[in-house]
Amino acid sequence: MLIARDLRIDVGPRTLLQGASLSVQAGDRIGLVGRNGAGKTTLMRTLTGTLLPTEGTVLRSGRIGYFSQEAALPELEHPDATALERVLMAREIGALQRRIEEARHRLHDLHGEERDRGIVRFTRLHDEFEAKGGFVAEAEAKRMAASLGIGNDELGQPVATMSGGQRRRVELARILFAETDVLLLDEPTNHLDLDAKAWLIEWLTTYRGGMLVVSHDLPLLDEAITSVLALEHGEIESYRGNYTHYLAERERRRNQRERERKHQDEAIARLEENIRRFKGTTEKMAKIARSWETRVDRMKRELVEVQKSGKKVKVAFPQPEKSGRVPLSAFGLAKSFGDNLVFVDVELAVERGERILLIGLNGAGKTTLLRILAGVERPDLGEISLGHNASVGYYAQEHEQIRGGVSVLDHMRQVGGLADQTLRSLLGHFLLADKVEQDASTLSGGEKTKLALAMLVAARPNVLLLDEPTNNLDPQAKEALLDALTIYEGTVVLVSHDTDFVAELMPDRAVLMPEGEMRFFDEELLDLVSLA
């Protein structure tokens, strides 16, 4: 159970939320909605206790599970922990299983009486594991992982060697497996294919605890939630029903407020006109006029507030200098992480102005290939070649280029070489004008995406390498990005599991990973996009 009372949350000089109260009880399935930067992720972190509110209190009882939208490598109990171990660690049996394995390995080095004692210890741990339902729980963890698209090979892979998408799915499986009383889920469907999303929706609809979820995945919000909390302009407003009902009810409430405000404004205008007419006439009418003034002052204090529509993100990539005919090519690329061979003998040649889509299942090496093309990571074999006048801009899905302790404006200064006034104006287009002095690491996931895109715009590259650029973006910002890429005359290499976004962009060619097979893009490949 979670109860928050009179919360005020500040980030630097900016107040994100004030006077907010909410509760998450058993059986509640609540969607938390709001534009990028409204404070949804910050509120979630405050509810978990990761951040402290400026004012107010948060009461917690029972076991709380928090799934972060960040794909960064989690703090592991053991550096070499596998995906299955990571999931099992969510329950006591996970630690017990690790102790069993350690006891098993020690037996090889023991002799005589020490070995006998080791066997007794191993047997005792094994019996304890079985008595606590360990084998049943392990089977449950494997079924849950498979439902989220984590195969048996991945379950045996060390988490430290996994891609961001793989890690997020492992963390989601761990949170769902943990037997929590309250779930706080921040963008849980990122990196899930259609089957995994469908399974997650069904699982959430039967979850008996309390749930608060942030998501831009509208089907999830519609099918899995029964009420909505809207975070707008520093306030929380509650709605009963799913997301579709919320949209209709929000519009109805807004229209009602506008009508009430119009009537109030008209009444005030009539009174003020009468005050002007009669204030300088007879003493009796002047006295009445003064009473009207008092009434007008009271009416102005009680005006119904009608929020203006929020500003929209404006994304525009400057038309770049023309590169050579083949700005980017790769020859004989191979990459592995330990015993995990990601891909081998991948070759490609990207022509000027092309839109290339990298397609493959999670773990097929899409992000790894993009990082190698960007020069962030070195291949084990092969080489990358940049063509004439080619300049590369890389968007990383894990926001690696955004560093803690560095302000938003300083991030822009490091890439653009532009005047501060120009950089501030550019940040304003991305709705970050009020955050220029804020530590960039404290931005929400959607705001980090906008900052990373703003940095790309300032750098003016003619080759864009984009790794899941629509993750964490609200629908309006996603549409603005699509419009910008549609008219961009440079070259784009894209990784995305967003089927609608890819369909609208309509790439020229696709590279199927891990084989590296290149083929012309057609609508049949959209089914593969949804599996990414």
| Predicted confidence pLDDT, tens digits, the chain (532 residues) | 899 899 988 877 778 788 888 999 999 999 998 877 778 888 998 999 888 888 899 999 889 999 987 756 666 667 778 888 888 888 766 666 776 777 777 777 777 777 777 776 777 766 666 666 666 778 888 899 999 988 888 888 888 888 777 888 899 999 999 889 999 999 898 878 778 888 999 999 999 999 999 988 877 788 888 999 988 878 888 999 988 888 888 888 888 888 888 888 888 888 888 888 777 777 777 777 778 888 888 888 877 776 665 567 777 788 888 999 999 999 999 998 877 788 999 999 999 999 999 998 877 889 899 999 999 999 999 999 999 999 999 998 878 888 888 999 999 988 877 888 888 888 888 888 888 888 888 888 788 888 988 898 888 999 999 998 888 787 778 888 888 888 899 999 999 988 889 999 999 999 999 999 999 998 888 878 866 6
Confidence at residue 30, expressed as pLDDT on a 0 to 100 scale: 93
Q: Residue 426 corresponds to which tokens in the numbers above?
A: 């550019």
Q: Residue 420 corresponds to which tokens in the numbers above?
A: 């501060």
Please say whether the beta carbons of 44 and 229 come within 8 A: no
Sheet (strand 381-386) strand order: 340-350, 328-337, 381-386
Residue type, 208: R
Instruction: Sketch the domain layout of the chain as residue ranges.
Output: 328-530
Angle at 234 between CA 231 and CA 235, to 5 degrees: 60
Greatest Cα pair distance in the chain: 116
Distance of CA 344 to the CA centre of its chain: 31
Confidence at residue 10, expressed as pLDDT on a 0 to 100 scale: 82
- Beta strand 509-512 with 517-520: parallel, antiparallel or unpaired? antiparallel
Confidence at residue 158, expressed as pLDDT on a 0 to 100 scale: 85
249 vs 234: CA distance, rounded Å: 20
User: CA-CA distances (angstroms) from residue 123 to 92, 111, 431?
Assistant: 18, 17, 61
DSSP 303-362: PPP-PPPPP-----PPPPPP--S--EEEEEEEEEETTEEEEEEEEEEEPTT-EEEEE--T
How many other CB atoms are there within 10 angstroms of residue 248's CB atom?
11
Distance of CA 310 to the CA centre of its chain: 21
* Coil, strand or helix at 284: helix
**ω before 514 within 30° of 0 (cis)?**
yes
Q: What is the topology classification, in CATH, of domain 328-530?
A: Rossmann fold (3.40.50)
Residue type, 123: T
DSSP 412-468: HHHHH---HHHHHHHHHHTT-GGGTTSBGGGS-HHHHHHHHHHHHHHH--SEEEEES
Residues in the chain: 532
Please say whether the beta carbons of 166 and 154 come within 8 A: yes
Confidence at residue 94, expressed as pLDDT on a 0 to 100 scale: 62
Q: In sequence order, what are the residues at sequence separation of 6 or more whose Cβ sits closer than 8 angstroms to the Cβ of residue 424?
A: 409, 433, 436
Confidence at residue 370, expressed as pLDDT on a 0 to 100 scale: 93
Confidence at residue 524, expressed as pLDDT on a 0 to 100 scale: 82
What is the DSSP code (8-state) at residue 74? Answer: P
Please say whether the beta carbons of 172 and 67 come within 8 A: yes
Confidence at residue 445, expressed as pLDDT on a 0 to 100 scale: 79
483 vs 497: CA distance, rounded Å: 18
* Coil, strand or helix at 91: coil
Q: In sequence order, what are the residues at sequence separation of 6 or more whose Cβ sits closer than 8 angstroms to the Cβ of residue 276?
A: none
Phi and psi at residue 314, in whole multiples of 5°? -120, 110
What is the DSSP code (8-state) at residue 73? Answer: P
41 vs 168: CA distance, rounded Å: 16
Confidence at residue 95, expressed as pLDDT on a 0 to 100 scale: 64
83 vs 521: CA distance, rounded Å: 34
